[in-house]
Structure 1
Amino acid sequence: MSIEIKMPALSPTMEEGTLAKWLVKEGDQVKSGDIMAEIETDKATMEFEAVDEGIIAKILVPEGTDNVKVGAAIAILAEEGEDASSVETSAKSDTPRPTKSDTPQPTDPEFKGRPDPSDPNAKGNEGEKVERTEASAEDHGRPDNAGAEPTPATPSGGDGSRVKASPLARRIAAEKGVDLAAVSGSGPNGRIVKADVEGAGAVPSGAKAPDAAAPAKAEAASPPVAPAPAAKPAAIPDVPHEATKLSNVRKTIARRLTESKQQVPHIYLTVDVRLDALLKLRAELNQSLEGRGVKLSVNDMLVKALGVALVQVPACNVMFTPDQLITFARADISVAVSTPSGLITPIIKEADSRSLSSISTAMKDLAARARDNKLKPEEYQGGTASISNMGMFGITQFDAVINPPQGMILAVGAGEKRPVVNGDELGVATVMSATGSFDHRAIDGADGAQLMKAFRELVERPLGMLA
């Protein structure tokens, strides 16, 4: 029996995706675990593996197709020994065909002597032919339709005209004792549908039932409301240009950051941090780790410092919900990584308790796979706080946008030589500006200040984060 291959939900937030590339073609044999396609989700481009074995009989969605809904059929898989050409033919049909398993046959004892319910031309079914076709959308998928008792008689209106009703509505009317001639239909051309019958009570034949379609009629009688005009696209200047289609990742970034700035009240707190002690410790550690092939970056050490600071100030390691404030027991730090398709934030889990060498190794692996769109959903979804470092670009200070539902993000600028005062003496030190963006619904300014103070102390006296 053929199997529908459906668009998978490759992330909890995925509702639709782009079928970027097929890695199989019609007629190919696949087995469980084979990579069949690359799918662009709202976060990254991911590989889609086969679950069942068989032959690709028909590809229903060509590669490059956008906005494919989760759960939509994208291909047909024929089982071993099944005729692929017959699968293709049935896949083209818009109306599902009843099979032996779901339609009782006339040879069954219960149906002996009755017309075949699957044949609209059979004797006794002529009057149902039109209704069966027009009501297919309402009745399709109900397991009890196939075995339902045929309506013994076709109700007629008072003037002798035939009452228009779907087969499902007729069956429900027969069960409830509702006279269809006394029910007004809200379906196309006044057809009586399921909702009309369910809204009507049992009444004696010839009595007028409550008009279940009255609200619909009243609504139809009222003047139509003109739809709101669609937003006009921005006028493109008459200048030579190149238009690039937005990727799903870029669309998601735009939507989430817009929501963050519109819905999350940001408060910004900035501190200047001396880096000399951290740079000295980094040089010593790299010298000792050289034999293991590990080289710490400044960012690795800042991730560690933020993780320890969040555990020291748990009031900032939080998430705001409409009716709860969630306080996390550990610090999972999302690190902003720029990729060709947009920004993504792989997570260093348990950053507060991991060793610096472990953070460095994990960060290099995550960043490399992020740029190749090879991250798994669990590697970039979640996190309790974020860090964004633009120091390598020479940016000295900036404000970052919070990544909901997290409660804060730390923006790190470049370290530069600045004049500093040491007691009564003027000196020079390597100083970095760091700005924390906090969700003011969840984090008070004083708590945010405590976190920034703890972070600065850990960076300026870095042995504290290793204890």
Structure 2
Amino acid sequence: MPINILMPALSPTMEEGTLAKWTVKEGDSVASGDVIAEIETDKATMEFEAVDEGTIGKIIVPEGTEGVKVNDLIAVLLEEGESADDIDASAGASGGDAAPAAEAKSDEAPKAEAAKADAPAPAAAPAAPKAADGDRIFASPLARRIAADKGLDLAAIKGSGPHGRIVKADVENAKPEAAKPAEAAAAPAAKSAPAAGPDAETVRKMYADREYEEVTLDGMRKTIAARLSEAKQSIPHFYLRRDIQLDALMAFRAQLNKALEPRGVKLSVNDFIIKACALALQQVPDCNAVWAGDRVLKLKPSDVAVAVAIEGGLFTPVLRDADSKSLSALSVEMKDLAGRARDRKLAPHEYQGGSFAISNLGMMGVENFDAVINPPHASILAVGAGVKKPVVNAEGEVTVATVMSVTLSVDHRVIDGALGAEFLAAVKAALEDPMGMLA
């Protein structure tokens, strides 16, 4: 019996994807484990392997198709001895709107049944309303439905039917004032709803006389917009700022890079920051935590996520067990993750998880900024550029030092101010005395 190939869920949060490329064509033989397609999720392009062996009998979804839902039928695999004639009888048995069998069944349905299915169901009348004093308001079902459509308050309408029952004519002849109480009742709900901003059509009209290019959001941009909007609305952010002197670190880095040159390893300032944050999470373990709806999960290892900018968005690949890895190992791993992130070749487990993130815009000349927490993380460190500044040393003398400004964005549900300050102090101490990170 032909086997339906369905759109896979390549990550826990994937709901749809783009079928970027078929690496097989109809008539090709495939074995279990063969790559048959490339699927674009909101974060990466991933290879999709065949589970069974057989012959590709029919490709349902052409390559380049966007918005293919998980579990939609994308192709049909024929087993030994089967031909294309067997497909119509089986395709669609396990899902997919594009299934030929589903279409055939639809075409064969009796016309009377189709007409019955297409006929709009009569709208149900609203439940019997009550007056402000709790007494039931007597009104015919038709009157209640017309009142609901017009936004009229039945309590403000006098009925002309038996025993004061409100009938169709009463509602149709109601004065505009009858709508006011209903509108007032709806006002608090409308006022409390979060402002979503003007819709696309409204914005287009605002710029109708200006030249512009309309850019359709891809899956990654939609996900970023949704997650960060949710983060700013639902996470109670607060911010802690410190200045960190980098002169000792820069000298130590130059010394280490000279020693590591034969191995082809070159440490960046960001490598030291990753290591310092990983160690600080161990020193202040209550900060090594994530928000889990109705509880907090405290992690044992230091899994540090690092923001990597790519065209059209960003990834936050996770360096697992960063506290136990050497600086050179972190440097090599970070370069590998960043390179594959830019090519959208990361697997989901490589950019999901962690309890803490680093966003470094220092290399772009930004001196300080506030980063948005990436849920379920409890904090994120925004790192600015190292800049030469006058400082007062321990002897009270004014000298010049390389100073880097950092801002810790904190989820107050997980981490309180004093705890966040303790963590940031640990990061500062490690970076200002970098030799201690090797101990």
Partner of 2:314: 343
Q: In structure 2, give the amino acid aligned to 1:292.
A: R
Task: Verify: 1:371 aligned to 2:379, yes or no.
Answer: no
Task: Verify: 1:403 aligned to 2:374, yes or no.
Answer: yes
Deviation at 1:30, TM superposition (A): 1.8
Structure-2 separation of matches of 1:65 and 1:29:
23
Correspondence 1:63-462 to 2 at 5 A: 63-87=63-87, 91=91, 92-94=100-102, 222-223=145-146, 232-233=199-200, 234-235=203-204, 236-422=207-393, 423-462=395-434
SS at match of 1:330: coil
8 A contact 2:88–2:101 mirrored in 1:
no
Fraction of identical pairs, as percent: 56
8 A contact 1:31–1:53 mirrored in 2:
yes
Partner of 1:204: none
Deviation at 1:55, TM superposition (A): 1.5
Partner of 1:37: 37
- Rate the CA distance shift 1:219–1:438 in 2: closer, same or farther, 3 A: farther
Deviation at 1:244, TM superposition (A): 2.6
Deviation at 1:414, TM superposition (A): 0.5
Deviation at 1:375, TM superposition (A): 0.3
- Rate the CA distance shift 1:31–1:351 in 2: closer, same or farther, 3 A: same
Structure-2 separation of matches of 1:341 and 1:54:
38
- 1:132-190 CA-to-partner distances (Å, cap 9, x unmatched) read x77xx9xxxxxxxxxxxxxxxxxxxxxxxxxxxxxxxxxxxxxxxxxxxxxxxxx979x
Partner of 1:24: 24
Deviation at 1:441, TM superposition (A): 1.2
Q: In structure 2, give the amino acid aligned to 1:442.
A: V
Deviation at 1:81, TM superposition (A): 2.5
Structure-2 separation of matches of 1:429 and 1:280:
12
Structure-2 separation of matches of 1:83 and 1:226:
59
Partner of 2:56: 56
- 1:252-281 CA-to-partner distances (Å, cap 9, x unmatched) read 011100000000011011100000111111
Structure-2 separation of matches of 1:368 and 1:431:
29
Partner of 1:159: none
- Rate the CA distance shift 1:280–1:226 in 2: closer, same or farther, 3 A: farther
- 1:57-86 CA-to-partner distances (Å, cap 9, x unmatched) read 111112222222111111111113211244
Partner of 1:142: none
Q: In structure 2, give the amino acid aligned to 1:321.
A: A
Q: In structure 2, give the amino acid aligned to 1:424.
A: G
- Rate the CA distance shift 1:78–1:225 in 2: closer, same or farther, 3 A: farther
- 1:105-148 CA-to-partner distances (Å, cap 9, x unmatched) read xxxxxxxxxxxxxxx9xxxxxxxx999x77xx9xxxxxxxxxxx
More helix by share: 2
Partner of 2:125: none
- Listed as ranges, the gaps of 5+ residues in structure 2 are 92-99, 123-139, 152-189, 191-195
Deviation at 1:88, TM superposition (A): 5.5
- 1:289-312 CA-to-partner distances (Å, cap 9, x unmatched) read 111111111101100001101111
Q: In structure 1, give the amino acid aligned to 2:25.
A: K
- Rate the CA distance shift 1:3–1:438 in 2: closer, same or farther, 3 A: same
8 A contact 1:409–1:438 mirrored in 2:
yes
8 A contact 1:398–1:413 mirrored in 2:
yes
8 A contact 2:2–2:90 mirrored in 1:
no
- 1:91-118 CA-to-partner distances (Å, cap 9, x unmatched) read 4231688xxxxxxxxxxxxxxxxxxxxx
Q: In structure 2, give the amino acid aligned to 1:11.
A: S
Deviation at 1:237, TM superposition (A): 4.4
- Rate the CA distance shift 1:48–1:325 in 2: closer, same or farther, 3 A: same
- Rate the CA distance shift 1:230–1:2 in 2: closer, same or farther, 3 A: farther
- 1:224-259 CA-to-partner distances (Å, cap 9, x unmatched) read 659999963122443333333211111101110000
Deviation at 1:323, TM superposition (A): 2.0
Structure-1 separation of matches of 2:330 and 2:431:
16
CA-based RMSD: 3.1
Q: In structure 1, give the amino acid aligned to 2:286.
A: A
8 A contact 1:54–1:78 mirrored in 2:
yes
Structure-1 separation of matches of 2:428 and 2:224:
30
- Rate the CA distance shift 1:34–1:238 in 2: closer, same or farther, 3 A: farther
Whose Rg is larger?
1
SS at match of 1:42: coil
Structure-2 separation of matches of 1:240 and 1:226:
41
Q: Pick which of 87-96 and 16-25 moved more.
A: 87-96
Structure-1 separation of matches of 2:242 and 2:197:
45
- Listed as ranges, the gaps of 5+ residues in structure 1 are 98-119, 121-128, 138-186, 190-216
Give the TM-score of the pair, scaled to structure 1: 0.72
Q: In structure 2, give the amino acid aligned to 1:384.
A: S
Q: In structure 2, give the amino acid aligned to 1:22.
A: W
8 A contact 2:20–2:37 mirrored in 1:
yes
Deviation at 1:26, TM superposition (A): 1.7
Structure-1 separation of matches of 2:143 and 2:75:
41
Partner of 1:184: none
SS at match of 1:94: helix
Structure-2 separation of matches of 1:226 and 1:349:
59
Structure-1 separation of matches of 2:264 and 2:368:
32
8 A contact 1:57–1:85 mirrored in 2:
no
